[in-house]
Amino acid sequence: MVQHLVPPKLRRSAAGVRTTRSGGNKALAMWTWLAILGVAIVVWRTCQPRGDCTVEIRRGQVAFRGKLPAGRCHQIEQYLLETFADVSRLRIDLFYPRGTQQLRLKIRGRISPGDRQQIRNFLSTIL
């Protein structure tokens, strides 16, 4: 194909990609930025610190990961299943910052702020 005979909107680069008069490809730039954004989200999610202990509720099942006394696991499981039986997904990360005995919680899930406070109060009394 001879470049000077093709109308400007239909010109193709040497790689066969449709380009604009300025030589850039807007669609390619958009997909490149979306790919970079996707990689950044994956890296951010994997680098987030997990708690010393994680309690997860999914479909009526409670799963524990990390350091937590076995006797407390049963109490926590019973409380969460009784109080939040209708919640499909809930995750609680428990942190013990170095050098302190204060418990920090990070609660993820679709529950009200009052329910979050109720969980904080319960866990702070038994742990």
Q: For residue 78, what pLDDT is reported?
A: 92
The mean pLDDT values, 10 residues at a time, for the chain of 127 residues are 55 58 69 91 79 86 86 90 88 82 87 93 89
pLDDT at position 53:
86
Query: Taking the domains of the chain in order of start, what are their residue ranges?
Result: 3-47, 53-126
Q: What is the 3-state secondary structure (H, E, C) of the chain?
A: CCHHHCCHHHCECCCCCECCCCCCCHHHHHHHHHHHHHHHHHHHHHHCCCCCEEEEEECCEEEEEECCCHHHHHHHHHHHHHHCCCCCEEEEEEECCCCCCCCEEEEEECCCHHHHHHHHHHHHHHC
